[in-house]
Amino acid sequence: MELIIRIKALLESRLGDQAVVALEEAGLQSALVLNSAYLPQACLILRDHEETYFDFLSCISAVDDGVAAGTFTVVYHIASIPFKQQMVLKVVIPNDRNLEGLPTVPSVATIWRTADWHEREAFDLMGIYFEGHPDLRRILLPDDWEGYPLRKDYEDAEYYHGIPIK
């Protein structure tokens, strides 16, 4: 817990009070909830600062918080291999369930190379658009697939190109 409080203070000193939205203490691992507009700058600081050096992004997960909540949460698990430390970053983004305008969060693929495939997976299955991603396209489903199967309001198609799915 001490680590995350120090990191919160570091980010606020560099980016201002509006960069960190909340500190989540419940659950298995504490998390910093960031303002999505500050995500790339915060990640660069965490990667490059001599006291943190979070050099590895191990996972990005996208969570559908439900239709009633009207939000998605993107969760970043990062680690500092030299310092043997891990932490969780989260970004909560609004979504009105309109497939024409996808919820958007800045890409961190230029900061951690592993984000490339993780962001593509979240785009493909959850419909989150990662602004600035170098090659954002479907990774698991066909290019012409309609919808995003991990959303809570997704309805299975009965056919794909005339072939029954069920």
| pLDDT tens by residue, the chain, 166 residues | 688 999 999 999 999 999 999 999 887 889 999 999 999 999 999 999 999 999 999 999 999 999 999 999 999 999 999 999 999 999 999 987 776 789 999 999 999 999 999 999 999 999 999 999 999 999 999 999 999 999 999 988 888 998 998 7
Question: In the structure encoding, which two tokens stand for residue 107, read together?
Answer: 């890409």
Q: What global pTM score does this model have?
A: 0.94
Residue type, 13: S
In order of their start, the domains of the chain are 2-151 (3.30.460.80)
Q: Is 96 exposed, middle or buried (0-12, 13-18, 19+ CB in 10 A)?
A: exposed
- CA-to-CA separations, 126 to 42, 102, 145, in angstroms, rounded: 24, 10, 12
Supply the pLDDT for residue 51.
93
pLDDT of residue 54: 97
